[in-house]
Amino acid sequence: MSQAPNAVGSTALDALPYVPYQAYNGTIPAGGDSLTQNLNVFYESGDIAWMLTSTALVLLMIPGVGFFYSGLARRKSALSLIWLSVMATAVTTFQWFFWGYSLAFSHKAGPFIGALDNVGFMNVLAQPSVGSSRIPDLMFAIYQGMFAAITVALAVGAVAERGRMFPCVVFMFIWTTVVYDPIACWTWNPSGWVFKLGGLDFAGGTPVHISSGAAALSYSYVLGKRQGHGTQALNYRPHNVTHIVIGTVFLWVGWFGFNAGSALSANMRAVMAAVVTNLAACVGGITWCLVDYRLEGKWSTVGFCSGVIAGLVAITPASGYVPAWSAVVFGVVAGIGCNFATQLKYWMKADDALDIFAVHGIGGIIGNLLTGVFAADYIAHLDGYTVITGGWLNHNWIQVAYQLCDSVTGFVYSFVVTTIILLCLSAISRVVPALRLRASKEEEELGIDDIEIGEFAYDFVETVRDMKPLQPDEIYEHDADEVSLRSHSHATMMAQEKSMHTSGGSYPLRSLSREREPLSYEPHGFQHGTVGQAS
């Protein structure tokens, strides 16, 4: 069917309300002068829009990490893990602005670390980024800042139930500077030694997952085992499976921005990255579930969620390099490999409470090695400009060796330097007690939420529901602090109740049911029941 010629002339087209795309022609570090130039003409608005969306998606993953970790832990330390995740965002974002971005992605970087020419985001504006000429420095900086933040959030889960929070916050800033930034530089900066070697890491197999897994293992060793480790005292189920599911969903959704966004523009390569990300997650969840079923005959929700995360971790370094069908292999191998890796902590005598090393450390290594097998040149070139020699699919047999080198180097560097940081903080804590890494035995027994935050993830009634109910006379015969092994808040309430009883008053307690009247404690006993009988 023939098409009528366009009646609109070129003059009319030029007057339409859109910004024409032009090749970058700037020479100054900032990319141009916004007062005299339109700096938007160098970039496609669709690419900018997609990258802003991806940035928000990666940010969504960080509370997802918090909810996932919180659900796996015990109730008395649930809030602290969410707190650490969101605090990691704040601390790392400042560090990234201060000098982190410059150390990782400076245009003047060396093979191992960047220069300081972009301290405080100085001259970070419209110049094409080192990651891709499709987006400016400023866009690349905020996007990569989210990667740094989630890496720290993943690593600090190792403090679960026994680590103090202030020294952990100090650790966040130092670790990002001396561990994450150098690894990100040598992996993704065109000047980095792994990049020049030919290592393939699309979205963070080594900088994000292997480094955080190694750091978590180191932190677990330095902190030592939790009280009761190896006994029935720690033989508990995750306290809130709903939190685990919510965290998994946040991570699953956000991972589209994490992997597909790493194409750094809106193109077919980003689409393929999204496809393999989702497929690997699904297969990983199914695989882990089946592996667990063979042992217990139960379709574990926690197992499914763990498998989804394992699949997502493994596909991360490969997502922009491998064909869709290979994602099935990634999911199966990660689901099985990470599941069995959860047993390594017993052999290694490490109390990795949340299995960060097993899922992220081992999962990242699996993903890196499989990338060397399944990387294909025609997938990488879906963006129109990336050229690679590929992996075994392209008969490039040496690629697996490059991937192994990258994995081992990243793991060893992160583990060793993390250990040095923690031992230094521990030594300094002899002079500055505020930097003491671990809570005392009594503080650990009460719970990190109460000791470090003074708030709880749940209502007070939920805090005491697992306690043995005591009769009113028994409560008054004991000191209030001895009644509660979990919280000062409970002790405070008991003291207030005793005061109320002495004065003939009553102390209202919140009911678990909206249909009931508030519980109150009367001089002759409870009106409706006893604390601890809630179901």
**How is 361-387 classified by DSSP, letter by letter?**
IIHHHHHHHHHHHH--HHHHGGGSS--
Provide the 3-class DSSP secondary structure of residue 7. Answer: coil
Radius of gyration of the chain (CA): 27
**In the beta sheet, which residues pair with residue 163?**
438
**In the beta sheet, which residues pair with residue 525?**
522
pTM of the model: 0.84
Across the range 60-89, mean pLDDT stands at 96
pLDDT digits (tens, 9 = 90+) for 223-279: 999 988 877 777 778 999 999 999 999 999 999 999 999 999 999 999 999 999 999
* Closest of 402, 383, 403 to residue 132, by C-alpha: 383
Q: How confident is the model at residue 93 (pLDDT cuts 50, 70, 90)?
A: very high
Residues 6+ positions from 509 with CB-CB distance below 8 Å: 461, 518, 519, 520, 521, 531
pLDDT at 230: 77
With pLDDT > 70 as the criterion, what percentage of the chain qualifies?
A: 82
Candidate ranges 290-294, 404-408, 514-518; pick with highest mean pLDDT? 404-408
Provide the 3-class DSSP secondary structure of residue 524. Answer: coil
Query: How far from the centroid of its chain's Cα atoms is residue 384's Cα?
Result: 31
Mean pLDDT of the residues in the chain:
87
Give CA–CA dist 135/492, Å, rounded.
56
Backbone angles phi, psi at 438, to 5 degrees: -110, 145
The structure tokens listed for 108 are 């003047």
pLDDT digits (tens, 9 = 90+) for 411-451: 999 999 999 999 999 999 999 999 999 999 999 999 999 99
CA distances from 412 to 214, 365, 404, 415, 435 (A): 8, 12, 12, 5, 25
Give CA–CA dist 137/124, Å, rounded.
6
Please report the DSSP string for 244-300 in residue order.
Answer: HHHHHHHHHHHHHHHHGGGGSSSSHHHHHHHHHHHHHHHHHHHHHHHHHHHHHS---
CB 166 within 8 A of CB 436: no
* Closest of 64, 94, 309 to residue 209, by C-alpha: 309
Q: Is the dihedral of CA 82, 86, 91, 92 positive or negative?
A: positive
275 or 482: which leads in pLDDT: 275
pLDDT at 532: 35
pLDDT at 312: 98
Q: pLDDT at residue 492 above 60? A: no
The structure tokens listed for 503 are 């004065």
Q: How confident is the model at residue 515 (pLDDT cuts 50, 70, 90)?
A: very low
Q: How confident is the model at residue 479 (pLDDT cuts 50, 70, 90)?
A: very low
Size of the chain, expressed as the number of residues it contains: 535
User: What single letter denotes the amino acid at residue 205?
Assistant: G
Provide the 3-class DSSP secondary structure of residue 6. Answer: coil
Contacts 24+ apart (CB under 8 A), 339-342: 339/287, 339/288, 339/291, 339/292, 339/303, 339/306, 339/307, 339/310, 340/291
Q: pLDDT at residue 11 above 50? A: yes
Please report the DSSP string for 391-444 in residue order.
Answer: SGGGT-TTHHHHHHHHHHHHHHHHHHHHHHHHHHHHHHTTT-GGG--B--HHHH
**In the beta sheet, which residues pair with residue 522?**
525
CA distances from 301 to 59, 308, 333, 447 (A): 25, 11, 19, 26
Half-sphere exposure of 252 (CA within 13 A, CB side): 22
CB 262 within 8 A of CB 319: yes
pLDDT at 25: 87
* Closest of 91, 193, 191, 202 to residue 149, by C-alpha: 91
User: What single letter denotes the amino acid at residue 357?
Assistant: F
The structure tokens listed for 103 are 């150390």
Give CA–CA dist 182/201, Å, rounded.
15
97 CB neighbour count, 10 Å cutoff? 18
